[in-house]
Amino acid sequence: MSTQINPDASPSLDTSAILTGKARGRHNASAGGQADRVKRRLTSRWATVAAIMIAFLWTIPTFGLFVASFRPQENKRQGWWTIFLDWFPTMENYGKVLGGTSISNDNLASYFINSFVITIPGTIFPLLLALMAAYAFAWIPFRGRGILFVLVFALQIVPLQMALIPLLQFFNGVDIGGTYLAVWIAHTIFGLPLAIFLLHNFVSEIPGELVEAARVDGASQTQIFFRIIIPLSLPAIASIAIFQFLWVWNDLLVALVFSGGSADVAPLTAKLANMAGNFGRNEHLLPAGAFISIIVPLIVFFALQRYFVRGLLAGSTKG
């Protein structure tokens, strides 16, 4: 009886698929049998075979590294696939890489911690500052607001490389070169333009009545910011936080330039790039080391994939 009018089935809703990354198409498909017929015509068996081939090819390299990381040292002259013929995986490499004495070249634990110490503030700092700026650009009217916002947007054009040399000279000038602080500030600066732009898109879509009502009730800007803006834009904050987290965790260039490359500050990526450079002595440890550096982003990725995709789509379809 109520099936006659279904406002949710209107085609305009399909645009929300872009934002949410959800397959609205499937919803429509089950609505009528016609769509299923369309589907059957389009998906040939060859397409499925090709898809599975691509998926296989794309997964095999990572899988190989994963298997190789369990290979005993004495078998390092064998390919990772031989581990299936005589099965004796070992955790020895992980033990050495993480727990080894810090004098030798194999200790990654210190760099692993550095990565966390760099990444967590490197995510929180720019996010909070960007959120504040996004709120001001969206909801506090002031002169020159439009021009400033376009300027911030345009800064995404400036390649990181252009800022490195003077910024390093500046950090050395105020004597914080090669410290966590320098790396944090650098990541904060480089993360800001995109974060402000993306957050602005979300923040400006908050219903104006809410903000107005709060203002009429006598709420200050700060109160509005903490009580309305932050809670309502949590999904956007989550997706951009994941983005920034992965970007900072995976970064090599900023880390190399601003950390000084020492075991005190430099992250895993810097150490691994170095290890990969002088292949040989540590060859059997490299897979375990690389997999440790990969595991954190992979956990974040698989656990929060939905938000990651959302942030990506917001970024790519809106600019």
* Subset of 51-90 contacting other proteins (CB under 8 A): 51-52, 54-55, 58-62, 64-65, 68, 76-81
Contact letters for other proteins, residues 12-41 (x by CB under 8 A)? --xx-xx--x-xxxx-xx----xx-xxx-x
Q: Which of 98, 132, 176, 232 touches other proteins (CB under 8 A)?
A: 132
Interaction between residue 103 and other proteins (CB under 8 A): no
Applying CB under 8 A, among 99, 104, 165, 281 the residue interacting with other proteins is 165
Burial group, residue 65, by CB count within 10 angstroms (0-12, 13-18, 19+): middle
1 vs 29, which CB is nearer to other proteins?
29
Closer of 125 and 202 to other proteins (Cβ)? 125
* Alpha-carbon span 134 to 140, nearest angstrom: 10
Question: Distance between CA 34 and CA 31 in Å, rounded?
Answer: 9
**Residue 184 Cβ vs other proteins, minimum distance, rounded to whole Å:** 7
Contacts to other proteins from residues 168-187, by CB under 8 A:
168, 170, 180-181, 184-186
- Whether the CB-CB separation of 268 and 115 falls below 8 Å is answered with yes
Which residues in the 233-252 window bind other proteins by CB under 8 A? 246, 249-252
Give backbone dihedrals phi and psi of 91, rounded to 5 degrees, phi first: -95, 5
The minimum distance between CB 302 and other proteins, in angstroms, equals 7
- d(C-alpha 290, C-alpha 122), whole Å: 22
For the bound state, the minimum distance from the C-beta of residue 217 to other proteins, rounded and expressed in Å, comes to: 15
Under the binding rule (CB under 8 A), the answer on residue 262 touching other proteins is no
Interface stretch with other proteins, choices 85-93, 166-174, 203-211, 233-241 (CB under 8 A): 166-174
As a whole number of angstroms, the distance between CA 121 and CA 13 comes to 38
What angle do helix axes 109-139 and 180-203 make, rounded to 10 degrees? 40
Question: Burial, 316: exposed, middle or buried (Cβ in 10 Å; 0-12, 13-18, 19+)?
Answer: exposed
Least separation in angstroms between CB 75 and other proteins:
10
Comparing CB distances to other proteins, the nearer of 84 and 279 is 279
Among 97, 108, 127, 152, binds other proteins (CB under 8 A): 152
User: Taking the alpha carbons of 201, 202, 207, 213 in that order, is the dihedral positive or negative?
Assistant: negative
Q: Which of residues 197-236 bind other proteins (CB under 8 A)?
A: 220-223, 225
Applying the rule CB under 8 A, the residues between 268 and 287 that interact with other proteins are: 269, 272-273, 276-277, 279, 286-287
Does 301 engage in binding with other proteins (CB under 8 A)?
Answer: yes
Number of residues forming the site for other proteins (CB under 8 A): 127
Minimum distance from residue 276 beta carbon to other proteins (Å): 5
Contacts of 298 (CB under 8 A, 6+ apart): none
**Looking at beta carbons only, is 61 or 87 nearer to other proteins?**
61
- Output the smallest distance, CB 140 to other proteins, in A: 5
- Residue 36 C-beta: closest distance to other proteins, Å: 9
